[in-house]
Amino acid sequence: MPTLTRRHFLAASSALLATRLPGQLFAADTRSTDSGPRAIDGDNVREPDWDEKLTITVGPKRGDLVGRDDKVVQAAVDYVARLGGGTVQVLPGTFTFRNAVHLPSGIRLLGSGDDSILTKIASESVPLGDDSDWYDREITLKGKHGFRVGDGVLLKAKNPHNGSSTVIKRMLVAGSGNRFKLNDGLRKNLWLSGKPTCSSLFPLLTSERTADVFIENITLDGNRKNNENLNGNYGGCIFLQDCNRYTIRGVTTRNYNGDGVSFQICHDVVVENCHSHDNADLGVHPGSGSQRPRLLGNRLERNGIGIFWCWGVRYGLAEKNKIDGNRNYGISIGHRDTDNVMRDNDVTNSGKVGVLFRNDGRGRDFWANRNVIENNRIVNSGGEAGIGIDVQGQTKDIRIVGNSIRETRKPMSRTGVRIAAEAGTIQLVENSIKGFQTAVIDARKAT
């Protein structure tokens, strides 16, 4: 019988280990005697699926925490986050905010549907009474005002160096008369020469650089008639910046003087079975650089635009949405918004165009290429010269397949599909286009 030498033993052991996948090495030593993984300090990859986490209730008259404003909701989400995550259940009632609620990672904010309403105070805007430099952490307001410590504010001015707009979001954390300390430094100049103002404008729910959050079954009302407009790059009923894996489900966002839902450079955001309506600007705004958004089964009604794909939004899906009565466009897609699918949506009664491929070209390849428009129903788009689908600029590699594009009013000067002369490959396959003066205008054929 051959002698098993140390060399043979090591070679045999190495061969055995090589047949295992990396995650299988020493599996017997890491597996719990119970089913599933164990909780290991610092390891959030194989966290057990716990049956129970903390739930805190918040209400105006009863609950674990009682109150009617942003402070009580903020206290609840912070407490739950401190214990590693859980649920804040907002009981029926109306909560009027003077500041946004900032959401931490790993929580669930659960409302009581139409009976849990988050709204905000009427906005106020006053000029600054003194210069503030970029390194300052305070501002001075001019004259009488209603601002308080704890308020969320928006600071605006004309940039003294190049004339552009300066916009800064901050909180008032201390005060002496008309002087207020901010939660963070300005890092931009607010000089009186730029006519700076301080306004009580803020999102209702917001977050930055957080992940794994659920917002469900709650109503957000922006008190639009009593508030100034806030651009969707800064606010909305819900505004997220640099966040991952958010699920917004069964949420109503309404009456905001700006966007209903806006998220910027956020990845794997799901907006599902929500109702975004009567907002001044955008119903849902998948913002610049956001990857893999999923917009599923929503009602987007009477906004400026229903769905606005911003810059560089890729690999998204908009499916089974009801997009009705939006004043400008049902769906708008443009600058480097590529590889997205819009399928089985009802896009009806849009003010100008049902689906717009914007001419956002400022560079070599800045258009909304490689997108699919499939099995949608696009009905009654625009005024006398309305267009069902308008493909502008050098947009290319678009598939428009199996859609019903209809006009039930008089044909007038309306067009089913219009394709710009400079557009690239646009596939029109098995679409039903009826009721228009002109079914398809393809300007490429005329050049």
pLDDT digits (tens, 9 = 90+) for 272-287: 999 999 999 999 999 9
pLDDT digits (tens, 9 = 90+) for 89-135: 999 999 999 999 999 999 999 999 999 999 999 999 999 999 999 99
- Check residue 196 and give its pLDDT: 97
- Check residue 49 and give its pLDDT: 82
Place of tokens 């009186």: 192
Residue 121 main-chain phi, psi, to 5 deg = -65, 165
Can you list the domains of the chain with their CATH numbers? 54-121+201-446 (2.160.20.10), 125-199 (2.40.30)
pLDDT digits (tens, 9 = 90+) for 308-331: 999 999 999 999 999 999 999 999
d(CA 335, CA 358): 7
Neighbouring C-beta atoms of residue 446, cutoff 10 Å: 7
Residue 12 pLDDT > 70, yes or no? no
388, two tokens: 């069902």
Residue 28 pLDDT > 50, yes or no? no
Residue 338 pLDDT > 60, yes or no? yes
- Check residue 2 and give its pLDDT: 46
Q: How confident is the model at residue 292 (pLDDT cuts 50, 70, 90)?
A: very high
Residue (of 301, 403, 268, 292) closest to 284 by Cα position: 301
d(CA 303, CA 331): 11
Q: How confident is the model at residue 447 (pLDDT cuts 50, 70, 90)?
A: low
Residue 24 main-chain phi, psi, to 5 deg = -100, -10
Q: What DSSP character marks residue 26?
A: T
Place of tokens 């839902």: 261
Q: How confident is the model at residue 47 (pLDDT cuts 50, 70, 90)?
A: confident
Secondary structure of residue 106 in the 3-state scheme: coil
- Check residue 416 and give its pLDDT: 98
Q: How confident is the model at residue 365 (pLDDT cuts 50, 70, 90)?
A: confident
Cα angle for residues 325, 216, 72 (degrees, 5° grid): 115
pLDDT, mean over the chain: 92
Residue 389 pLDDT > 70, yes or no? yes
Please give the single-letter amino acid code of residue 243. C
Residue 376 pLDDT > 80, yes or no? yes
0.85 exceeded by pTM: yes
Residue 227 pLDDT > 50, yes or no? yes
Of the listed ranges 191-200, 334-343, 361-370, the one predicted with least confidence: 361-370
- Check residue 37 and give its pLDDT: 86
Residue 251 pLDDT > 50, yes or no? yes
Buried b (16+ CB within 10 A) or exposed e, 391-425: bbbbbbbbbbbebebbbeeeeeebbbbbbbebbbe
Kindly give the residue spans of alpha helices, DSSP state H, lying in 162-253.
none
